[in-house]
Structures are given as structure tokens and as C-alpha cells.
Amino acid sequence: MKISIIKIGGNVIDFPDKLEEFLDQFSKFPGKKILVHGGGIMASRFGESLGVMPEMIDGRRITDKDTLDVVTMVYAGLINKNIVAKLQALRVNAIGMTGADGNVIRSIKRPVKGIDYGYVGDIEDVDTKLIKHLLSFDLIPVLSAITHDQQGQLLNTNADSIASALATNLAKEHEVNLYYCFNKSGVLLDEKNENSIIPLINEDIYEELKQENVIHSGMIPKLDNAFEALQKGVNHVWIGKAENLLLSTKGKLSGTIIERHRYDLY
């Protein structure tokens, strides 16, 4: 079975038009597929209305008990179920889930080392039995960024990590491709020029681009994660804009494909 895992975040979810356009493309995306979504600004907005102020350290949300309730409501409730309803309208038989449902993703509350992130989960175990059953019945899992510790506690968990953990687990038995939608057209040669997409990156090219300082700062952890997924058996990782997702299946230059080896080694 060939499986595509597609991750979207706030830069799609926060804009109704973009979300609609993305879901239309997702509905046409060929083959078995899984959607993973994060939260975006909606959780902060609802939290603020409830008097729960977002506290961020190093770009990460500190998840106290009230914030956990807010993200559970917004991610697993409002966003997840609206995505499911919209996909059902497009005749995609979606089923919304968290990592707690079917015990798909078990995490542990992040240990306190200097910073107490609160109810944030670091993924420990992935059990894709349910996911595989659902895919075999032509259901499309839609996962929100909530997991659990199997002791009754929900945990706020990074959506990129969920996509990657699912991908590497499923890659043990299946051909898995991972698609990260983000706010740029891909990895760019010139970060000010959205047309300067680097179409293909492998380990050798990555090393060169880092040495030449073309790839730096925030892009490095993203690509390190991508290569980690490839090392664990994922076939390729694509990063680009949500609106170009479908082009990538048509062999068109639509973003950056990350592969482990050079093409000429095949």
C-alpha cells in the first residue's frame, strides 16, 4: 500500500479560503492518504476570550491545564470536526481522530529541564493498527495534534512530530511519502525569491547548501527532521505551499522533494 501523509498548519487553517482550496486539492490527491493538522491562531484567540493567555517560550506554547482544555476543544473539536464535515461534503470519507483514539499515539509528558512546558507530549509509541484498518476500508484519517499518556491524560503534541511518527511507523510495511505544507514555496536558493525553489535535496546537496549558508536557522531543524524520517524508511519528503500540493503529484515543480540518495545512484 502506498500512503501519503499530508501536514497542514496555521498558515492554511487560519484562512477559510485557503483551507477550502486545500481541502479541495486534498480530496483529489491520489491514493491512500492521511491528513495531520495543527492549530494556528484559533486556539490563542479562543483562549484569550476565555481569559487563558498564551504563554510562549522559544516559539513553543506552554500548556497549563486551562490551555490544554482550550487546545483540546479547538484542535480536536472545532477544527478537526469542521475539516471532517467539509471533506465529507467533497465525498471524502474522513474520520477525525487524536492520538488517544484507538491508542494510536502514546506520549509522555515532557520532563521538566529548566523549562516546564506543562501538558506537552513527547511521542513514545505509535500503533498504526487502527489507521491501517481505516485505510483498508477507504476511510481517510484526519489527525489533530493531541495525544495521550495512556494513563488518562491528554497531551498537546507537535503536529510535525505526529506526521513524522506516523510516517516512519507505516514505512515499516508500506511506501510512505510525507508532505509538509508551510508558508514558503519550498527550500529556496534565495529566501527573498519564491521562484528560486530547489527542486531536489539529498544528503550530499544538503551538506553543500549548509556549508554555503543557503540553508540556515529555522530551515535546518525542518530538514534534519526530514532526513531522519528518510533514514527511518520514508520514501520522500515534500515541503512547499499547500496550494501547490496537487502539482507535486503531476510531476510538476511545486516544492522541494527531499530524498536520501542522489537520483543517479538508483
Q: Which residues bind a copy of itself (CB under 8 A)?
A: 46, 49-51, 69, 72-78, 80-82, 84-86, 88-89, 93-98, 100-103, 129-130, 133, 137, 139, 146, 148, 150-154
Looking at residue 165, its amino acid is A
User: Whose Cβ is closer to a copy of itself: residue 67's or residue 185's?
Assistant: 67
Burial degree of 233 (CB within 10 A; 0-12, 13-18, 19+): middle
User: Whose Cβ is closer to a copy of itself: residue 80's or residue 158's?
Assistant: 80
**Nearest distance from C-beta of residue 31 to a copy of itself, angstroms:** 19
- Tell me the C-alpha distance between 79 and 64, whole Å: 21
**Nearest distance from C-beta of residue 183 to a copy of itself, angstroms:** 26
**Nearest distance from C-beta of residue 162 to a copy of itself, angstroms:** 15
- Tell me the C-alpha distance between 160 and 39, whole Å: 12
**Nearest distance from C-beta of residue 70 to a copy of itself, angstroms:** 9
User: Whose Cβ is closer to a copy of itself: residue 32's or residue 241's?
Assistant: 32
Contact 51/70 with Cβ under 8 angstroms?
no
Annotated binding-site ranges: 39-40, 61, 156
**How is 182-198 classified by DSSP, letter by letter?**
-SSSSSBSSTT-TT-B-
Contact 96/142 with Cβ under 8 angstroms?
yes
User: Whose Cβ is closer to a copy of itself: residue 45's or residue 222's?
Assistant: 45
**Nearest distance from C-beta of residue 174 to a copy of itself, angstroms:** 19
Cβ contacts of 110 within 8 Å, gap of 6 or more: 117, 120, 121, 122
Annotated binding-site ranges for substrate: 39-40, 61, 156
User: Whose Cβ is closer to a copy of itself: residue 131's or residue 230's?
Assistant: 131
The one-character DSSP state at 168 is H
Cβ neighbours around 110 below 10 Å, total = 19
